[in-house]
Structure 1
Amino acid sequence: MMISYICTKPIPNIDELDELYTHSDCMCTSNKTGKSYNFCFPDPHKPGTYGVKFNCSFVDTMKDLKLIGDADNLISLSDSIKNEDDVVFVSAASEDHLDDAMKSLASIREYYLYNKYVLFGLNISLKGIDLLPTDPNFEFRQFNATPYPEYVTNWKRYHFKGLVMAKAMRDFPIIWWIDAHSVMVDSDVIGRTFKEVSDYRLSNGYSPQCLVS
């Protein structure tokens, strides 16, 4: 369960970490709220190195997805591994991958009968929706791509994936992403993952690995 970041060239005029949080080169202001947010990324493995500022045109989208500002649905990592039943499986599929998604769901149900499973539809037709299961712990949500750039609807490029995850995290603090074509082949996957987090990833010194390109 490793998160990777792509680090870029340092932005100019920032020498200390404290400057990063208030420096004008880093701030983006919301057109809706008037509040400003820091859009620079500090490299945790290279003190004093900061990524180029993210595009300010995305600030209101990020705010809507609760990825910036005060989020009321965040929990600590230690709290997230207390109850396996709280894990919500999340996936997304277009019409041509709907059969794969149903096979993926069936494989999950072999080991986890009652965990919630949310499928985001990528322009699924009414005919496809009619074929979805009546599992009481299954939920279908049609993914609305209209607020986002047109390239998001090029499903083969997977631009939708991060957006779907962010939308799911607004409602469910603990999600387990599973690609539509992936199947679960072993039991106790959640339990083993929780144990790994508990044993190795709760220390203050743990941080995601950074990939430089």
Structure 2
Amino acid sequence: MKNRTTEIVWLVSNCATPNRRMEIVRNMEKIGIKMKMRQDIRLFLVLLIFYFLSFFIHKTTQVSKAPTVVLMKNPRSIDMSGNESQNDNEKCLKIENLQNNLDFPVLILDKEFLEKIENGSCEQIRKIEVGVDEKFVQNRGFLQDPRFKFVYFENSTEKDFLYLKTEQRTVIPKNFDVRQLGNVILPKNIPIFLGILKFINKNYHSSCNCEGYNFCYSDPQNYLSVGRKFNCTSLQVLKNLGILNTSQNFVDTSKLSRDPKNVIFVSATSDDHYRYTRNSIQSIRKHLPNQKYILYKIGLDQSNSKKLLEEFDNIEIRQFNFSNYPSFVANIKEYRWKSLIIDEVLQEYPNVWWIDAHVFLKSGVLTNTIYEERAENNVTSDILLSIPTYHSNFAVLHTTLLEYFPTSSIPLLKSEKSGAQLGTGFMYFARTRQTLEMLKWWTLCALDSKCMAPDGAKLTCDFSGGKYNVQANCFRYDQSVLNILLLNKFQDHINYFSDHGFVSTDFV
């Protein structure tokens, strides 16, 4: 163990090369660690050593024990077997019947509550913040309990961190010692636990915070890999689009509605795509004659709009209001408008199908097929893409994008088997928390002058060197961004790919 500790200290303070040393320092700075003062370096090394030691000698956090009934009191008045102390003066911080209707494990995260437990305070207890593994609530909907404020976390068996799904993005090392009373889990050494939380997240929140909302993306596979902060001027746009509203009615993807009124097609077009748009609508009417279709005008004149309204029933034409967004959104060829239109429509409808003007429907069974696929968990994403591109994400990657959305695996971006890019010409969106989180970053990128349209980006590709392992000196704008977000999250495009031959992308 001594050799292991020495190795850790050496790794941080005496890196083999200057480049490697700077890389580690930059990674530290990304999570708010300031290296200007020697005492900060010492503190970091101490906590880092503690973390690695805990990995070897402490009990890994477990959240899978069967439910039991307990009566929660100050730990000073209850031993680990559940026997109560007979000293009434010690019965502080009493929570009656904590386990009633609590059939899943919760981790006590409430800092004030933990401090009161540690100090033996007897003040009245307010609603307690507890962490719940999101896998325990996937089919339950919203949790309601007057005793608790629930915070959901992601608990991947392949990661060393719990990721709390809060706006103030928080990561917690999993390898800390715990005591578990039934389904109530507390850190065994509260001061060290609170110190780790404060240390890991102290400057991270302030540097990425926009009025309480996190504006720095973290790689879901490595939450300490943090991207460039988006501008806080985009906050009001996100609010207007409802993306930050987590109290709205969400879709239960295990019970997706087949009611046609709840499912719509959405598209956008300009005069130079009028012919394609007309043929696309015809294909939808052939297979789904009564489905609502909303068309946004992004350069379509009044005469062409009138022709479409006269020819087709149940069609609504809207003018996309570019004035609601930064001026560069009006550059049609940068495709920023697509994510913004989807944001707008998802506020009104829980299930949205996006279809590009040059995409044509070949089947009318797509809704039932995808609903069954999603409800049966054959795919895990609430956003589904249906058009293969036959090239990798890496081939059409502009490296500037990684400054905003870091990834843990360049080989995955190159992989034909798992990392192929999918087209955004035909997509399904369910209004869920997962979808809103994805749309948040997609939209922030669209509202940033460099993220969705980096300097030098162009649509035309050179695939002469191959379509997977070599960059083709091109960029797919909205498509490249959404794909890297989905691939970072799900690690295999099959988890958000639904290919049943529903559509054709031939230009006719």
Q: 1:159 aligns with which of 332, 336, 346?
A: 336
3-state SS of 2:265 partner: strand
Quick one: distance in 2 between partners of 1:132 and 1:114? Answer: 15
1:25-83 residue CA offsets vs partner (Å, 9 max, x unmatched): 22112xxxxxx32223232222433333222110001110111134525323334x231
The one-letter code sitting in structure 1 at the alignment partner of 2:31 is P
Shift in Å at residue 201 of structure 1? 3.2
Matches within 5 A, 1:33-52: 36-52=212-228
For residues 73 and 124 of structure 1, what CA distance do their matches in structure 2 show? 33
Alignment of 1:191-210 (within 5 A): 191-199=368-376, 200-201=378-379, 208-210=486-488
The equivalent of 2:244 in structure 1 is 68
Q: Which runs of 4+ in 1 moved over 6 A?
A: none
Q: Secondary structure at 1:61's aligned position in 2? A: helix
Matched residue type, 2:233: S
Identity %: 30
C-alpha separation in 2, matches of 1:71 and 1:150 = 31
The 5 A counterparts of 1:85-124 are 85=260, 86-124=262-300
2:207 equivalent in structure 1: 25
Instruction: Report SS of the residue matched to 1:176.
Output: strand
Native 8 Å contact 1:108 1:184 kept in 2: yes
1:189 shift after superposition: 1.6
The letter for the 1-side match of 2:346 is M
Residue range with higher mean Cα deviation, 194-203 or 54-63? 194-203
Q: Partners of 1:110 and 1:70 in 2: how far apart? A: 37
Does the aligned pair in 2 maintain the 1:73–1:171 contact within 8 Å? no
Contact residue 268 and residue 298 of structure 2 kept, 8 A: yes
- What is the distance in 2 between the residues matched to 1:155 and 1:208? 24
Q: Give the aligned partner of residue 181 of structure 1.
A: 358
Which of 17, 26, 31 is the matching residue for 1:12? 31
Aligned twin of 1:6: none
Higher alpha-carbon deviation: 122-131 or 105-114: 122-131
Q: TM-score, normalised by structure 2?
A: 0.35
What is the TM-score with the length of structure 1 in the denominator?
0.79
- Residue 157 of structure 1 aligns with an amino acid whose one-letter code is E
**Residue in structure 1 matching 2:305, options 110, 114, 129:** 129
With over 3 angstroms needed to count, the CA separation of the structure-2 counterparts of 1:40 and 1:151, relative to structure 1, is same
Partner of 1:82: 257
Alignment-derived partner of residue 142 in structure 1:
319
CA distance in 2 between partners of 1:121 and 1:159 (Å):
14
Show CA shifts across 1:180-200 (max 9, x none).
110011231222211221222
8 A Cα contact 1:84 1:190, kept in partner:
no
Q: Are the counterparts in 2 of residues 91 and 177 from structure 1 also a CA contact under 8 Å?
A: yes
Question: C-alpha displacement at 1:112, in angstroms?
Answer: 0.8
Report SS of the residue matched to 1:131. Answer: helix
Query: How many Å separate the matches in 2 of 1:120 and 1:161?
Result: 10
- Counterpart AA for 1:127: S
Q: Note the C-alpha offset of 1:136.
A: 3.7
Cα 1:28–1:47, aligned 2, differ >3 Å: closer, same or farther? Answer: closer
Q: Verify the 8 A CA contact 2:287 2:362 in the aligned structure 1.
A: no
AA in 2 matched with 1:75:
V
Q: Post-superposition shift, 1:144? A: 0.7
- Distance apart, 1:128 and its partner CA: 1.9
Q: Which digits, 9 at most, give the CA deviation of each residue in 1:101-157, with x for residues without a partner?
A: 111011011111111110001132222222123434211111110121222112122
Letter in 1 for 2:379: R
Aligned-partner Cα distance in 2 for 1:168–1:76: 18
Q: Secondary structure at the match of 1:49?
A: strand
Q: Is the 8 A contact 1:20 1:26 kept in 2?
A: no
C-alpha distance 189-84 of structure 1, shift in aligned 2 (>3 A): farther
Deviations 1:137-180, CA, capped at 9 Å, x for gaps: 21111111012122211212211111111111111111000001
Report how many aligned residue pairs link the two structures.
Answer: 195
Answer 1 or 2: higher relative contact order, Cα 8 Å, separation at least 6: 1
Matched to 1:161, the amino acid is K
Find the aligned partners of 1:169 and 1:93 in 2 and give their Cα distance.
Answer: 19
Rate the CA distance shift 1:202–1:78 in 2: closer, same or farther, 3 A: farther
Unmatched runs of 5 consecutive residues or more in structure 1: 1-8, 30-35
